[in-house]
Amino acid sequence: MTIRKETHVCYNITGKPWPRISRLGLASVVVCLMIGQMAAAAPTYRIYPLRNGICKIAGNHAYYEGDSDKTYGFALYIWLVLGGDKPILIDAGLSDVEEMNRGAAHVLREPITQNKNESGTAQLRKFGLTPDDIGHVLITHLHFDHVDDLLIYKNAKVYIGKKEWEMATTAAPTWGHGKIMHEFSNTPSCRKRLVLVQDQEVLPGIESFWVGGHTPGSMAYRVNTAHGKTVLTGDTISLLGNFERNIPLGIFSDLQECIEAMKNIRKKADIVLPSHDPGTLDRWPPAPKNAIKYTIRAIKVGQCEVRDYITFQDTDSEQTSTYYLYVWLIEGGPKPIIVDTGPKYPEEFSKSTAKYIPGGVRQLPEERTIKALKRYGIDPADVSHVIVTHLHPDHYDYFDAFPKARFVVNRREYEETTGQLGSGRNRLATDVRKTLDKRPDALQLVEDEEVVSGVRVFPLGCHSPGSQGILVRTQMGPVVIAGDVVYKYENIEKDRPGRSPDERACREAMARIRSLADIVLPAHDPLTLERWPDGIIGICTTD
Ligand SMILES: [Zn+2]
Ligand SMILES: [Zn+2]
Ligand SMILES: [Zn+2]
């Protein structure tokens, strides 16, 4: 994963940088340090609902006194919370779907289904995380679908409501997940990680509080986010409709507690995230009304073997690893948008890079850009924008494939490549030059700006003078297409910059990327097609 760091800039009262250390200045320093400390004490978290399955529930179970002829879709989630010392989960999700369907048959109108990309492990992989990376798991209650997978988070502290734990371990029959309760009661490696919580701050900026209602000891968690105090309610509020219509769920241990819980949550929350509402994926993270949420498709247009001393600044090894070449297709707007064109002349590119790309680029006939796009139903003449991360041949030399597109290029990158800055030699690819001669208005030189609503470019430097990143708004939140500043996940996730004359610039560029998004797409990593099923990025699940 990428660890995002928020920087706190301090200003004096006039908003200008410090003039000199005067008394006012000193007072401001003190205030600033205090703010710094407060900020350190209460991080702003980013919450990602990760779908873990779906099912259908009868109306009388979804709502107290509801219509049993009605059926409601339910979604199961685990909630990834980033921004703290270590990644956090709220609820652990399930993997034994069969057992859950057997045990909960009486409330399921249609059984739970979970596709293979909805397991906790598969969902975390999108963020570059494994279960071992999770530092804390906060449990709302001990029902099967919320704790079944708990044992895979071996390094996590596990927080469970004190009342929930005490009552579930003494009730007969219990509502708690038998195996999980057994392990956390008896196995030392589990027991020592168990933390029983009441109404308290469990982690900086995250509070637990008892709600009861659905189970006697159900807990809710209030999380400090950029969108305000966000309450993850647990099943006491399962659907947003429970909260909005003020009608409790039909499955409860105490109705009055459910009603009180809703009142209490109303007081505490700026925004609520119910436990099972399928609409959450469209509602969170909050976006402006009617905002387009894009998907990004990684389309492979070739591959090659690249020496490690190029991939990493910190080695001289001549070993190689596999690179994929991608065209990134951004869909969801009025017209398709492309990031990078793929190579037009891979043989030429291979000749000029033979020293560090032994064997050159291999491209199957169906991987030629135009054919590859057609496979996904995209007519290149329909593409409205071709945004290029930088002007190296494998990323941009196929402008003429897109007869109606605007070509969005970083200004400095363009001026350096055409010789207006620096060398004075025009190194722009001949075919690209011809295309731009014919359609000069198609060139759009950019710096740090929004290209279309929800798609931004920002300068990075590092790999080439005007390398730029592309920030795309998706259903899951912001995603950065990083270009060659990040060749592979390892560059950014293990903090190992690629080969470059200016390592500092590369570290700064990677820090900028981290500050903008938790989901980062390196230019050339084959792993993207494993992390994201079918190469579709930015949606939590595909069905
Ligand atoms: Zn439950
Ligand atoms: Zn549940
Ligand atoms: Zn590249």
What is the rounded average pLDDT for all residues in the chain? 92
> What Å distances lie between residue 216 and 143, 211, 484, CA to CA?
12, 8, 53
Calculate what percentage of the chain has a pLDDT beyond 70: 92
CATH class of the 46-283 domain in this structure: alpha beta
Domain ranges of the chain: 1-41, 46-283, 295-537
How many angstroms separate the alpha carbon of residue 338 from the centre of ligand 3?
Answer: 16
Proximal ligand: closest to the CA of 146: 2
| b/e 235-248 (16+ beta carbons within 10 angstroms → b) | bbbbbbbbbeeebb
Proximal ligand: closest to the CA of 74: 2
Nearest to 136 by CA among 185, 216, 204: 204
Q: What angle do CA 278, 279, 280 make, to 5 degrees?
A: 95
Does the pLDDT value for residue 336 go beyond 50? Answer: yes
Is the CB of residue 357 less than 8 Å from the CB of residue 373? no
Q: What is the pLDDT of residues 177-215, one digit of tens each?
A: 999 999 999 999 999 999 999 999 999 999 999 999 999
Proximal ligand: closest to the CA of 219: 1
Residue 424 φ/ψ region, left for φ over 0, alpha for ψ in the -120 to 50 degree band, beta for the rest: left
Does the pLDDT value for residue 543 go beyond 90? Answer: no
Q: What is the pLDDT of residues 497-519, one digit of tens each?
A: 999 989 999 999 999 999 999 99
Specify whether domain 295-537 bears CATH 3.60.15.10. Answer: yes
Report how far residue 161's alpha carbon sits from residue 170's, in angstroms, rounded to the nearest whole number: 14
Q: What pLDDT is stored for residue 385 in this prediction?
A: 98
Three-class SS state of 434: helix
Average pLDDT estimate for 285-307: 97
Report residues near ion ligand 2: CB below 5 Å. 145, 235
Does the pLDDT value for residue 424 go beyond 90? Answer: no
How many angstroms separate the alpha carbon of residue 205 from the centre of ligand 1?
Answer: 25
Q: What is the pLDDT of residues 96-122, one digit of tens each?
A: 999 999 998 888 999 999 999 999 999
Q: What pLDDT is stored for residue 57 in this prediction?
A: 96
Q: What is the pLDDT of residues 32-66, one digit of tens each?
A: 445 444 445 689 999 999 999 999 999 999 999 99
**The two domains 46-283 and 295-537 share their CATH topology (first three levels equal):** yes
Q: What is the pLDDT of residues 131-161, one digit of tens each?
A: 999 999 999 999 999 999 999 999 999 999 9
How many angstroms separate the alpha carbon of residue 225 from the centre of ligand 2?
Answer: 23
> What Å distances lie between residue 508 and 282, 501, 540, CA to CA?
33, 14, 29
Q: What pLDDT is stored for residue 120 in this prediction?
A: 97
Q: What pLDDT is stored for residue 9 in this prediction?
A: 35
Residues whose CB falls within 8 Å of the CB of residue 245, separated by 6 or more in sequence, listed in order: 63
Average pLDDT estimate for 1-11: 42
Q: What pLDDT is stored for residue 542 in this prediction?
A: 74
pLDDT bin (cut points 50, 70, 90) of residue 434 is: very high
Report how far residue 303's alpha carbon sits from residue 299's, in angstroms, rounded to the nearest whole number: 12
Number of H helices, E strands in the chain: 20, 24
Number of neighbours of residue 14 by Cβ within 10 angstroms: 8
Average pLDDT estimate for 345-354: 94
How many angstroms separate the alpha carbon of residue 47 from the centre of ligand 1?
Answer: 21
Proximal ligand: closest to the CA of 353: 3
**DSSP symbols for 157-216:** EEEEEHHHHHHHHH-SS-SS-HHHHHHHHH-HHHHTTEEEE-SEEEETTEEEEE--SSST
Residue 232, CB-side half-sphere exposure with 13 Å CA sphere:
29
pLDDT bin (cut points 50, 70, 90) of residue 4 is: low
Q: What pLDDT is stored for residue 5 in this prediction?
A: 45
Nearest to 401 by CA among 376, 430, 427, 431: 431
Is the CB of residue 77 less than 8 Å from the CB of residue 50? yes
Report how far residue 470's alpha carbon sits from residue 306's, in angstroms, rounded to the nearest whole number: 24
Does the pLDDT value for residue 24 go beyond 70? Answer: no
Nearest to 522 by CA among 328, 264, 257: 328
How many angstroms separate the alpha carbon of residue 507 from the centre of ligand 3?
Answer: 18
How many angstroms separate the alpha carbon of residue 355 from the centre of ligand 1?
Answer: 60
pLDDT bin (cut points 50, 70, 90) of residue 478 is: very high
Residue 146, CB-side half-sphere exposure with 13 Å CA sphere:
26
Three-class SS state of 437: helix
Is the CB of residue 363 less than 8 Å from the CB of residue 302? yes
How many angstroms separate the alpha carbon of residue 339 from the centre of ligand 3?
Answer: 12
> What Å distances lie between residue 341 and 391, 455, 509, CA to CA?
11, 17, 23
Report how far residue 280's alpha carbon sits from residue 233's, in angstroms, rounded to the nearest whole number: 13
